[in-house]
Amino acid sequence: KKAAEKTLRRLNPRKVKSAHVPVILDPRVSASIVGHLSGAINGSGIARGTSFLLDAMGSEVFAPHINIIDDPHRKRGLRSKPFDAEGVANQKRHLIENGVLKTWIMDLRSARQLGLKSTGNASRGAGSLPGPSTTNLYMEPGTISPADMIKEIKSGLYITEMIGSSVNGVTGDYSRGASGYWIENGVLAYPVSEITVAGNLKDMFKTVVPANDLTFKYGTNAPTLRIDGMTLAGQ
């Protein structure tokens, strides 16, 4: 029934004019924002100098209320394990604590290159060398409900699907195709498609506001997210 209702609501999507508006990311796509953070703080990229967060250690990357955690010991977590692919014991770590970047994600090789200790984040596939990777990664929820988050927006976009990807890991420039619903006076007014959403991840991180609907379904999870000041390219 829910699937049928969603399908009906998406019929006859409209195009919208280019604008500079707040967007809300459905949990199905919000985890990608957390994923971009993990890519930016991967020890291998930091050692190569190819990250837009290269000089951000110890600085405020997100707003002060944001916490992002990698927890390899979470009960029934999809990627839970007591040690990494190199046999290094791992532990629950705050990657972002109160908005501040606290650590890189490192295996033995990247840690050695950076003159640091491994964080126990080595991962490997069959026949491949180890490389840094997160385990059960998530952003802590906020206090506002998704419904109230929508009500606060006069004009904006609720994104349910991202299409393609153009993200520059060195500069943080972000551009993706999107579809979803146009928000008008605090309600989902009509379906929209053929939109490009653009910004810079540094700026986007600073304005992230999480809702209170975090659920653990995947290896990387996040609640509904609001991000202000995104550029929409439409008609």
**Closest C-alpha to 196, from 230, 171, 169, 225:** 230
Q: Which pLDDT value is given to residue 3? A: 45
* 70 touches 136 (CB < 8 A): yes
d(CA 217, CA 28): 10
Q: What is the mean pLDDT of each run of 10 residues along the chain (235 residues)?
A: 46 76 96 96 97 98 97 94 96 98 98 98 89 97 98 96 90 95 96 94 97 96 97 81
d(CA 84, CA 135): 9
Q: Which pLDDT value is given to residue 235? A: 63
The tokens for 64 are 């002060």
Strand partners, 174: 167, 199
Q: What is the pTM of this model?
A: 0.92
d(CA 211, CA 197): 21
User: Residue 33 phi/psi, 5° resolution?
Assistant: -65, -40
Whose structure tokens read 């209170």? 212
